[in-house]
Amino acid sequence: MRIRVLGTAAGGGLPQWNCGCAECTAARHGGHARSQDCLAVSGDGRAWYLVNASPDLRTQLLAAPELAPAPGTRDTPLRGVLLTSGELDHTLGLLTLREASGLTVHATAPVRHALHHAFPVGPLLAAYTGADRTGAANTGADWHTVTPGKPVELEGGLRAEAFALGGKRPRYAAHLPDHGDWVTGYRFTEDGTGACAVYAPGLAEWTPALDGAVAGADVVLLDGTFATAEELAERTGGARRSPGMGHLAVQDSLPHLARRPGPRYLYTHLNNTNPLAGRTPPEVTAAGAEVARDGLLIELP
């Protein structure tokens, strides 16, 4: 299995275009910018799947050599997209894929619904994507409903199993029912080697389902949006605490890592208020965890 970490920042990226906070200013001057959270994964190194489609997708794809099309063709190694949520920072990049001659998108039922109504990227893509050779007709993307606990067989000997992480809706979908699988993680397993990776960039709390997913995994990429629950309020003067925003702070997930030793743990989806984006503190290193960086390649086993 190969994983290319395409982006590691939360919505807005680092620096965020309209932010002059200390972290964004340091990123502007120090060059340690981060693009928005996105991953590419492959079982055989030939068929690749995106997990989420960030607003920075075009630049991210161009920076990943394994995602280049075969010379002289439009034969892309990209076979499809799996979504962990319907959040804009995970879905705006779908529009960037509109030139695709075929596009498969995997999403849970509420996310799939939201992406056809509240944020109608599905119908929009249908006008551009999947053109036949004459260009006369577009078939649109091929949408598949993801159900937690029901594995999906992907090309290249890769299996993806979603696990439920809660009902936090995107703000644009606030009028839609708040039950159901708005947020999921994925457990990827490679046939043959049994290599296993877990990706959970949005985590409101550490649940038994997550415990089950990380058991026996080789690598786990986790929600690192905020370093502490109070970070956002302290930095912005607002009242919002991270748990209510669907993000378990790193400080509060570290003790769970100690309970579940074994996997290589990396934090991703870092908000631009998060000091971990610039410097990994000793308590993270002491827990055996890392902060992921854009472009990181993970090869398993």
Q: Which of 1, 3, 5, 10 touches ligand MLT by CB under 6 A?
A: 10
Contact flags string 126-165 toward ligand MLT, x per CB under 6 A: ----------------------------------------
CB of residue 245 to ligand MLT, shortest distance in Å: 5
Instruction: With contacts defined by CB under 5 A, name the span among 43-51, 92-100, 173-181, 265-273 that binds Zn ion.
Output: 265-273
Site string for ligand MLT, 187-226 (x = CB under 6 A): ---------------x------------------------
- Let me know the angle formed at the C-alpha of 270 by 217 and 43, rounded to the nearest 5 degrees: 35
By beta-carbon proximity to Zn ion, the closer residue of 151 and 278 is 278
With binding defined as CB under 5 A, does residue 223 bind Mn ion?
A: no
- Polymer length of the chain: 301
d(CA 30, CA 27): 5
3 contacts: CB under 8 Å, gap ≥ 6: 39, 40, 41, 42, 197, 219, 297, 298, 299, 300
Phi, psi of 142 (to 5 degrees): -100, 110
Does residue 11 belong to the site contacting Mn ion (CB under 5 A)? yes
**Could you say which of 19, 154, 203, 210 contacts Zn ion (CB under 5 A)?**
19
Per-residue binder mask for Mn ion (CB under 5 A), 84-123, x = binder: ---x-x----------------------------------
Please report whether residue 238 would count as binding ligand MLT according to CB under 6 A: no
Give 89 or 218: the residue with its C-beta nearer to Zn ion: 89
Q: Considering the complex, what minimum distance in angstroms separates the CB of residue 271 from ligand MLT?
A: 8
User: Which CB sits closer to ligand MLT, 190 or 252?
Assistant: 252
Residue number with CB closer to Mn ion (11 or 86): 11
Closest CB 24 distance from Zn ion, rounded Å:
3
- Tokens for 234, please give them: 């302290």
When asked if residue 24 is in the footprint of Zn ion (CB under 5 A), the reply is yes
Fill in the amino acid letter for 259: R
Number of residues counted as binding ligand MLT (CB under 6 A): 9
Residue 108 CA to residue 103 CA, distance in Å, equals 17
What residue ranges bind Zn ion (CB under 5 A)?
19, 21, 24, 272
What residue ranges bind ligand MLT (CB under 6 A)?
10-11, 87-89, 171, 202, 245-246
